[in-house]
Structure 1
Amino acid sequence: MLTLTSVWTTVLLAAAVALGPLATDMYLPALPQIGRDFGTGTDQVQLTLSLYMVGFAIAQLICGPLADRFGRKPIMIGGFVLFAIASIGCALATNIETLILCRFLQALGGSAGPVLGRAAVRDIYTPREAARILAILASIMALAPAIAPTIGGLLTASLGWSSIFLALSGYALVMAVVVAIGIPEPMRPEHRQSLKIRSLLKNYSTIARDISFLGYTLTNALIFSGLFAFLSGSSFVLIDFLGVPTEHFGLYFACMVAGYVVGNLSAIRLGSKLLPDQILVRGLLIAVAGGGLMAGLALSEVYNVWAVILPQALFMIGTGMVLPQTMSGAMANFPTMAGSASALFGFIQMAVAAIAGMLVGHLHDGTSLVMATIIAACAACAMGCYLLLVQRYPAKGFEAQTATSS
């Protein structure tokens, strides 16, 4: 068994965290084919993605407290097994309703990897060391959505979309075995907590009433919703509307991921020169510019691949700058309730994103207009949350520009 501070332990935790984006992004190229096979509309197919996010959101509120009581490993292993079984159900689904249900169950299990992988890092390392390890995990996480759609497109083109879910099931089972025999339990026995409902509800109530937390969380959730709107609509826009071959979808998708990586690296580079709030507002301005450009081109009926990809890459540069700052800001006021704050933060993020995904599916008109408009609206609303909440109620250590200049 590996030691907790081993490099290979970090690699295995990164592989566990990667399960979330793999489950979301690998089957994106297959969405149009799934709709054709089941003879259903875009809105129904989109529910397989949006309800996955709903399940993921709900599971975070449950997964964290269970892991605080019983340890990280048993909950993580149980989640992987549930994910694997649900993935097989997805592969065997004969109608869209069964696929939607199995995707929801898949999300309940899939949340264990990302949520508890990050929690394990906090268990193992000091705060300063944890920041470095989490940065490594974030870099690996950026690779997963870059690779996943390409793999999914190739599998769909050669073996059919069911093969994607069989591959995900195999991945989850391998991870369950590796975690069971390869990683010691990272949580100390004396840190185990009670599962008393009253205490959990009190913590969540305290966090939810903090205006600073709500400001950062809603800003994050809205920017993430713009990203999720692209995930929900991109395969229909690029493959069905603009004629991109399924096996090439991942190559265009990688341009979006490259934008996110550029934003991440820019935030790291600027971190020594600017306050987190200053990085945040710059990222928001870039995201608003990207979303507005895409919507403007769509309104002008400029319909081609690069009129979608390049503005989205610009939006993702802003997203890469915004998400780390808003996550840190939301957690800043709750050093003793970080687990509960993280769970509520994730729940709100995923719930808002699911709504954006449902809107894309319900309103889709066969062009890029609906997707582009929703992305632009999410960016504009995120800027509004920043101006109305974050600037007025900054978290400690995240002083807003208006505060620093006064």
Structure 2
Amino acid sequence: MLKLTSPTTVAVLAALTALGPLATDMYLPAMPAMAEALNTGPDQVQLTLSLYMAGFAMAQLLCGPLSDRFGRKPIMVGGITLFLLASLLCAFAPSIEVLLIGRFLQAFGGAAGPVLGRAAVRDIYGPLEAGRILSYMASAMALAPALAPLVGAGLLVFFGWESVFVVLALYAGVMLLILSLALPESLPLEHRQSIHPGAILSNFRMLLTQRAFIGYTLTNAAAFSGLFAYLSGSSFVLIEFLGVAPFHYGLFFILIVAGFFTGTLLSGRYSHRLGRDRLIQRGTLLCALGGGSMAALAIAGVFAPWAVVGPHVIFMIGVGILMPQTMAGALSPNPHCAGAASSLFGFLQMSIAAVVGGVVGQLHDGTSLTMALAIGASGLLALVSYLSLVRHHAAPAQAVDSKPESGH
């Protein structure tokens, strides 16, 4: 068994958390080919992404509270097993309808990795260190979405789109083996919570009355919606509209992930020096700048790969800065129900992003305009959420973080 505080344990938790970006990013280059193979339109294929996010959101409301009662590890084992089986269903789906069902089930199982990975970090490291550890986990995880579209493009060219889901199933199998044999339980017995519906609803109700929790969550969800709008529309914009080859699309995606990676490194490096809320302020400003620039270029009729990728790199630097800090900010005041807090945080994040992604798919006009407007609006909303809900309440939130906790 690994030690809870070992770097290897952090690496395993990062790999489990990477299930989310892998399941969304790896098949992006294959989306146009999937539409053709399954005899359907771009809107239906984009729905596989939005439905994945909807299933992901719903599952989080269950797996977090269940893990507060039974521990993180058994819920993760069950979730990853479902993810593996659903990935195989996607790989052999004969129609878009079966693929949609498979994607929903894949999300329902895959949610256990990111949600409980975050909760386990909160269990192990306490409120003050959680933001720093999550930042470095995000930096390490950035390798997965950077390589995923390139791997997906290679699998598409040589083996067809179905092979993407076979590889995801293999990844889940390896993680299931490591999880079962090597990862210890992070939640002590004395910290277990009741799964009575009344207790769960009471925790959710308490969280929804915390202005700081709502502020951090909405700031995160707005920025994540901009990221998801890009995931939902970029393959059709860059590959179909602007004529970018699938392999080059993967290379462009590396630039996007490099922006996120840079942001997470800055977030971890300056976490103690600047503090959580000043970092979030800088992150939201970058999101508003990048998203606004992309929207302005699209409105002006500037349709070129650089007009999409360049501004989104700036947007993603902001996302990388604020994402781990907002997660830590939402979870830090609630050690007694970290699983429930992580669940509700993720549910709101994914639900809002799924709606934005669905809108981008339904209103796609064949150009980059709809996607760019959605990303611009997301950056602006992230900034407004921070300024209106977080900034004036930073001191109480930071004060909570400064208190040492027993058992960490």
TM-score of the pair, normalised by structure 2: 0.92
- Judged with a 3 Å threshold, the aligned counterparts in structure 2 of structure 1 residues 307 and 283 are, in CA distance, closer, same or farther, namely same
- Secondary structure of 1:193 counterpart: coil
- Judged with a 3 Å threshold, the aligned counterparts in structure 2 of structure 1 residues 268 and 337 are, in CA distance, closer, same or farther, namely same
Work out whether residues 123 and 186 of structure 2, in 8 Å CA contact, stay in contact via their aligned partners in 1. yes
| One-letter amino acid of the structure 2 residue matched with residue 170 of structure 1 | L
Kindly indicate whether residue 99 of structure 2 is the aligned counterpart of residue 99 of structure 1: yes
Work out whether residues 329 and 395 of structure 1, in 8 Å CA contact, stay in contact via their aligned partners in 2. no
Distance in 1 between the 2:77 and 2:246 partners?
33
- Judged with a 3 Å threshold, the aligned counterparts in structure 2 of structure 1 residues 320 and 7 are, in CA distance, closer, same or farther, namely closer
| One-letter amino acid of the structure 2 residue matched with residue 29 of structure 1 | P
Work out whether residues 333 and 395 of structure 1, in 8 Å CA contact, stay in contact via their aligned partners in 2. no
User: 1:373 corresponds to which residue?
Assistant: 373
- Judged with a 3 Å threshold, the aligned counterparts in structure 2 of structure 1 residues 132 and 292 are, in CA distance, closer, same or farther, namely closer
Counterparts of residues 156-195 of structure 1 (less than 5 Å): 156-195=156-195
Q: Deviations over 1:61-94 (max 9, x none)?
A: 1001212222222211111111111011101111
- Secondary structure of 1:336 counterpart: helix
After superposition, the CA RMSD in angstroms is 2.0
Distance in 2 between the 1:277 and 1:120 partners?
23
Counterparts of residues 13-162 of structure 1 (less than 5 Å): 13-125=13-125, 133-162=133-162
- Judged with a 3 Å threshold, the aligned counterparts in structure 2 of structure 1 residues 9 and 288 are, in CA distance, closer, same or farther, namely closer
- Secondary structure of 1:194 counterpart: coil
Work out whether residues 59 and 111 of structure 1, in 8 Å CA contact, stay in contact via their aligned partners in 2. yes
Q: Deviations over 1:285-309 (max 9, x none)?
A: 2211111111111112211111111
Q: Deviations over 1:347-378 (max 9, x none)?
A: 10000000110011000011111100110011
Per-residue deviation, 1:327: 2.2
Q: What percentage of residue pairs aligned between the two structures are identical?
A: 56
| One-letter amino acid of the structure 1 residue matched with residue 381 of structure 2 | C
Distance in 1 between the 2:129 and 2:288 partners?
34
User: 2:205 corresponds to which residue?
Assistant: 205
User: 1:247 corresponds to which residue?
Assistant: 247
- Secondary structure of 2:336 counterpart: coil
Work out whether residues 220 and 323 of structure 2, in 8 Å CA contact, stay in contact via their aligned partners in 1. yes
Kindly indicate whether residue 10 of structure 2 is the aligned counterpart of residue 10 of structure 1: yes
Work out whether residues 228 and 353 of structure 2, in 8 Å CA contact, stay in contact via their aligned partners in 1. yes
Distance in 1 between the 2:52 and 2:378 partners?
20
Q: Deviations over 1:5-42 (max 9, x none)?
A: 44433332222221111111111111111111122222
Distance in 2 between the 1:304 and 1:283 partners?
26
| One-letter amino acid of the structure 2 residue matched with residue 224 of structure 1 | F
| One-letter amino acid of the structure 1 residue matched with residue 374 of structure 2 | I
Q: Which runs of 5+ in 1 are unaligned?
A: 400-406
Q: Deviations over 1:297-339 (max 9, x none)?
A: 1112211111111000011111122223322332344343332
Distance in 2 between the 1:133 and 1:275 partners?
14
- Judged with a 3 Å threshold, the aligned counterparts in structure 2 of structure 1 residues 336 and 194 are, in CA distance, closer, same or farther, namely closer
- Secondary structure of 2:212 counterpart: helix
Larger deviation, residues 131-140 vs 372-381: 131-140
